[in-house]
Structures are given as structure tokens and as C-alpha cells.
Amino acid sequence: MFLQQLLNGLTLGSVYALIALGYTMVYGILELINFAHGEIYMVGAYLGIIFLGFFTAIGLTSYSLTLALFLTVLLSIIFCSSYGFTIEKIAYKPLRNAPRLSPLISAIGVSIFLQNYVMLTQGATDKVFPPLFENSAFEFLSVRITSIQLFIILTAGVLMILLRFFVRKTRMGKAMQAVAQDKTMASLVGININTIISITFIIGSGLAAVAGLMVAIYYGLVNYSIGYIAGIKAFTAAVLGGIGSIRGAMFGGIILGLVESLGAGYISSEYKDAYAFIILVIILLVKPEGLFGRGV
């Protein structure tokens, strides 16, 4: 029972970590909480259903399911990254020098707009993800591990490692670190601040798209409101790990997933969504800078 709940929590936490990375990257660069980020995750789930449905209709899934899934993931990332890029240019860039409250209200407005946009275009009822995958399972130490759980954990792990490598080792990643430390000095040494900000939104939105697609595969159902709760939980994960810390977002997401799963298994599943808020309150009271954040 305990090991099974740990596996379930690790699966859920991997998704939270991917979404939390978008929050923490944007905050690290702009010191802005992008509350529309959860809706990008939701859009990614819907795009997965739309593209996979299209490939099924033209017979590509019958020819090669792997190719269809790869194209679905790729197109979902491209579209969601475009959404993130556009949102930054329209809703945030004009308010870059405005009081802190203005971009925050703009972010909430974008979140509400995207929710209603998807509801009007896709309907208010749940959408079913095409059951194309055989969810095989095997047991190890009395723990039932499904192929979809394994896929989610491995995919999230690879993406987080690649992001860590990108930020630490590449020229663009070092430019992002420089902008996060001091925008004025970064611009003085020739770094294009606007380009770095756009890339940050693009990367974060791409990760959210993958998270949305994985959740659609895992649960088999999506609706226009899933981004709100997932966004709040991912924000909690980012705060738990230390908002602005990429490593913190990764560990915060995993910890939150484990706490939620263990709480649902041993306390009550009816309050599983409340555990994130309880953790958020405790962290803000006890250690507001988070596990890997710095008190400034």
C-alpha cells in the first residue's frame, strides 16, 4: 500500500514539477507570477486530443502509433509555446514597467479568457482521450506499475534533466541566469532582454504542453477547468521548492505529489485538493523562501 502510494505520488508529482518549472522560470526572470500558466497546460491536453483524433481519422495511428504520438507531442509543444509567446507580448510586455499589481491582474484576465475560449470552442463537457494505448502493467515488490506511469515518470525526468543542462551549460541558458540576476547589467553586456524573456515563456509553455498531454493520457478525460487547480498546485510546488529555483520546482513538484497521494491514501481522498493549500500556508508561515530559495 505504502509503496503503491509512493509510485502514484511520484507520477503525479512529475506532472506538477513540469508545470511548476514554467512558474519558477518566469518568476526568476520577471518576478511575475504567470497565473495563466495553468491554462496553457489545459490547452496542451486539449491539443493532444485534437491532434491525435486527427491522426486517427487519417489512418496514421493504424500505420504507426509511435509516429502519431510523436507528432502529437511536437505539435502540442509548438502550439502551446506560441500561446505562451503571444501572451507575453500582448498581456505582459506592455506592463513591464507598470506597478506590480497590473501584470498580476493581466495574468488573471488571460487565465479567465483562455478558460472561456476553450469552453466555447470545445464545449463544457468532458473530452475523452482516444483509448489507443494498451496500459500494460507489471508488479515489482507488490507494487503495480503501469506502462503509462512509467512513461510519465521517465519523460518528465528526461525533460527536467535536459532543462537543467540547458540552463547550466548552454550560452542561452547562461544568458537567462544573467538576466535573472541583473537585467540592467545583462543588457549592458549585450544580452537581448526581450529575447530571453520570450524564450523563457516558450520553454515553460512547452513543458506545460507535455504535462497536459501526459495527464490526458493518464486519466483519459479533460475539461476546460483542469488548468485552475493544476496551476494552483504547481504554484504551491514552486513556492515549496523556492520560487525562482529550477531545482526547487522539480523537488517541490515531486514532494507535493507524494504528500497528496499519501494523504489521499491514508487520510481522505475527498480532501486531496486541499493538501496543496495546507502545504502552501505552512510554507509561507515557516519558511517563505522555500526549500531551495534564498531569503532576500
pLDDT value at residue 293: 66
Say which range, 167-171, 207-211, 271-275, has the weakest mean pLDDT.
271-275
Cβ contact 246:202 at 8 Å = no
Of 259, 68, 246, the C-alpha closest to 159 is 246
pLDDT value at residue 210: 94
pLDDT value at residue 87: 93
Total Cβ atoms within 10 A of residue 21: 31
pLDDT at 138 over 90: no
pLDDT at 184 over 60: yes
pLDDT at 172 over 70: yes
Q: What pLDDT band is residue 192 in, cutting at 50, 70 and 90?
A: very high
pLDDT value at residue 219: 86
pLDDT at 30 over 70: yes
Q: Please state the domain extents for the chain.
A: 2-225
Residues 6+ apart with CB under 8 A from 203: 22, 25, 81, 163, 166
Q: What pLDDT band is residue 29 in, cutting at 50, 70 and 90?
A: confident
pLDDT at 296 over 60: no
- Give the integer Cα–Cα distance in Å for 162 and 20: 16
pLDDT value at residue 277: 79
- Give the integer Cα–Cα distance in Å for 31 and 108: 16
pLDDT at 77 over 90: yes
Q: Which three cell numbers stand for residue 247?
A: 531545482
141-162 pLDDT, tens digit per residue, is 777 888 888 889 999 999 999 9
pLDDT at 83 over 90: yes
* SS3 state of residue 219: helix
Entry pTM: 0.90
pLDDT value at residue 294: 59
Cβ contact 207:20 at 8 Å = no
Mean pLDDT of 237-251: 86
Phi, psi of 145 (to 5 degrees): -110, 120
Mean pLDDT of 6-19: 90
pLDDT value at residue 131: 74
Q: Which three cell numbers stand for residue 279?
A: 502545504
Task: Give all strands (DSSP E) within the chain, no chain letters.
Answer: 127-128, 137-140, 143-146, 221-222
Cβ contact 13:257 at 8 Å = yes
42-73 pLDDT, tens digit per residue, is 999 999 999 988 888 888 877 888 888 889 99
Intra-chain end-to-end CA distance of the chain, in Å: 42
Q: What is the dihedral of CA 245, 250, 253, 259, to 10 degrees?
A: -110
